[in-house]
């Protein structure tokens, strides 16, 4: 059993490498296929299927190193989970959307489907590696294999796929894996799916094992909070303050979530993720004794 889990972890590590967007091996699909609206996140509006004016002929962003400073913070928190290069080099075997309008339309239609599948693989891979999810490992492995078969399918199969049904089936396993991993944790019954914690004062809160699936944590103060084994799948962490927070053992954390939040050198993050470049790099002095603070009102788990 231990050998099986070790092999599964190694396979998961290799799989995660394929679930990282590689702009150098993509045709700039996210800069063309997706729409965006002028706002605090985007300096101008763009319709779906139209190239961003910042996209060069080499499929590279002309302001990639200055996106935030140029008014395109929304681009920095988007992640295709490797779907872009899969479509460019796999599904369409190197064909360029610029060469044929019909091919372009199909590529742009396949892009969100592949992204959903790649994101799902990210979550399933994490679940498969959880020691507590041992009883579910065969089912998780089959879910991974089924999703990988879809990822490798042709465009017609992908366009005909009922993505919502496939996600719902996999989500049942992810929920069960989460429950097993969070069992016995002090905050296991805290909050519940979709909890409204916008701007909540949760500094130094013990949130180990909390159910924060889909929680609205926009601008929440999570400084030095302990989020070990907290389920963060789908949680909205835009502008959340994660300085000094402990997320190394948090469940289902993604790169876009970290990129949307604020953190520092004291924030611990899960293995396999990269610390966002806009996070502060300085460390803060640790207190030897922490005063107790009133925390946000609890919600029963659901």
The sign of the dihedral angle between the CA atoms of 250, 79, 200, 265 is positive
Q: What is the dihedral of CA 60, 63, 66, 71, to 10 degrees?
A: -120
DSSP single-letter state for residue 172: H
pTM of the predicted protein model: 0.86
pLDDT along the chain (302 residues), means of 10: 52 68 89 93 92 92 90 91 94 93 95 97 96 96 97 97 96 97 94 95 97 97 98 97 98 96 96 91 51 43 40
And the tokens for 121?
């693989």
Q: Counting beta carbons within 10 angstroms of the beta carbon of residue 165, is it exposed (0 to 12), middle (13 to 18) or buried (19 or more)?
A: exposed
**Residues 24 and 17: beta-carbon distance below 8 Å:** no
| pLDDT value of residue 143 | 97
Return the pLDDT at 298.
Answer: 43
- 59 to 112, 236, 267: CA distances (angstroms): 19, 30, 34
Longest alpha-carbon distance in the chain: 65
Cα–Cα–Cα angle for 263, 71, 241, nearest 5°? Answer: 15
| pLDDT score for 228 | 97
Q: How far apart are CA 199 and CA 221, in angstroms?
A: 7
User: Where are the extended beta strands (E) located within the chain?
Assistant: none
Q: Round the CA-based radius of gyration of the chain to a whole number and report it.
A: 20
pLDDT tens per residue across span 119-151: 999 999 999 999 999 999 999 999 999 999 999
- How many C-beta atoms surround the C-beta of residue 83 within 10 A? 27
């Amino acid at each position: 059993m231990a050998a099986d889990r070790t092999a599964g972890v190694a396979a998961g590590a290799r799989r995660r490498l394929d679930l990282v967007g590689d702009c150098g091996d993509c045709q700039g699909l996210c800069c063309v296929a997706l729409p965006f609206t002028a706002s605090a996140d985007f300096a101008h509006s763009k319709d779906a299927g139209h190239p961003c004016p910042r996209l060069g002929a080499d499929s590279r962003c002309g302001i990639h190193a200055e996106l935030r400073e140029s008014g395109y913070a929304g681009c920095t928190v988007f992640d295709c989970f490797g779907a872009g290069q899969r479509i460019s080099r796999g599904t369409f075997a190197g064909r360029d959307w610029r060469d044929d309008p019909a091919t372009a339309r199909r590529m742009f239609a396949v892009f969100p489907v592949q992204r959903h599948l790649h994101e799902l693989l990210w979550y399933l891979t994490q679940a498969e590696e959880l020691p507590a999810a041992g009883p579910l490992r065969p089912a998780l492995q089959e879910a991974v294999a089924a999703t990988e078969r879809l990822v490798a399918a042709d465009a017609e199969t992908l366009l005909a796929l009922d993505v919502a049904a496939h996600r719902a089936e996999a989500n049942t396993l992810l929920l069960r894996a989460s429950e097993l991993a969070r069992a016995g944790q002090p905050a296991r019954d805290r909050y519940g799916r979709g909890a409204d914690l916008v701007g909540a004062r949760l500094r130094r809160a013990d949130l180990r094992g909390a159910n924060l699936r889909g929680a609205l944590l926009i601008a929440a103060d999570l400084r030095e909070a302990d989020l070990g084994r907290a389920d963060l799948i789908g949680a909205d962490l835009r502008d959340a303050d994660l300085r000094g927070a402990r997320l190394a053992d948090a469940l289902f954390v993604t790169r876009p979530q970290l990129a949307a939040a604020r953190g520092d050198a004291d924030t611990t993050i899960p293995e396999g993720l990269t610390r966002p470049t806009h996070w502060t790099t300085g460390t803060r002095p640790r207190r030897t004794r922490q005063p107790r603070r009133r925390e946000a009102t609890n919600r029963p788990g659901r």
